[in-house]
Amino acid sequence: MKRLACLTAASALLASGSLHASESSASPDLDEARAIVKQFATQLQGELATAIKEGGPVKAIGVCKERAPAIASELGASRGWEVKRTSLKVRNTELNAPDGWERRVLNDFAQRQAAGAEVQTLVQSAVVETNGVKRFRFMQAIPTGEVCLACHGTAIAPEITAALDEQYPDDQARGFSLGEIRGAFSLSKPL
């Protein structure tokens, strides 16, 4: 109840459609979500780069597998957020598959990119009610960068392909090109 003001602000933002990633907002929830995403992205990319440098991409698969969910819950849990990554084409089908709302937002991001929007600017927030529980939800698109192509691109090295085949038999997250939307950070918090 105490979050009614934020909720109203979030709804207003939702009504106004898309938001530019660098705009500040009147909603503390939205600001917090953005701050968590920034930290998550920075920490994960840092650990990924170090792992690739030290052990090569096959070893770095472990960082994405173990560290991504660990960092997500470390950053979210203490502040009451659920933090994950998702995509229309997931590698980890058990952990990262999108729910209905996430799928709609991801499709909307794809349309907005096709219409000329920069991937970095694609964010969406909403108050979503599921089984009578209202949650503030936030998503931010993740672009495919150069470093990502080793494991998500169109020409993945045979040893990486073999390791991925073994660990992710249902992998759909290959064949991406530079600049394409790889997926999104997805955060939610009960109101």
User: Residues in the site for ligand HEC, rule: CB under 6 A?
Assistant: 45, 48, 57, 60-61, 64-65, 68-69, 85-87, 90-92, 95-96, 142, 144-145, 147-148, 150-152, 173, 182-183
Tokens encoding 155? 């020409």
End-to-end CA distance of the chain: 7
Q: CB of 9: closest distance to ligand HEC in angstroms?
A: 28
Q: CB of 120: closest distance to ligand HEC in angstroms?
A: 12
Q: Nearer Cβ to ligand HEC, position 87 or 125?
A: 87
Q: CB of 51: closest distance to ligand HEC in angstroms?
A: 7
The amino acid at 180: E
Q: Nearer Cβ to ligand HEC, position 127 or 150?
A: 150
Determine contact, residues 105/17, Cβ cutoff 8 Å.
no
Q: Nearer Cβ to ligand HEC, position 61 or 71?
A: 61
Q: CB of 134: closest distance to ligand HEC in angstroms?
A: 26
3-state secondary structure of 183: strand
| CA dist., res. 123 & res. 139, Å (int) | 6
| CA dist., res. 185 & res. 188, Å (int) | 10
Q: Alpha helices, DSSP H only, in 16-154? A: 28-62, 68-77, 93-96, 100-114, 149-152
Helix or strand holding residue 19 (H, E): none
Q: Nearer Cβ to ligand HEC, position 9 or 153?
A: 153
Q: CB of 37: closest distance to ligand HEC in angstroms?
A: 12
Q: Nearer Cβ to ligand HEC, position 25 or 67?
A: 67
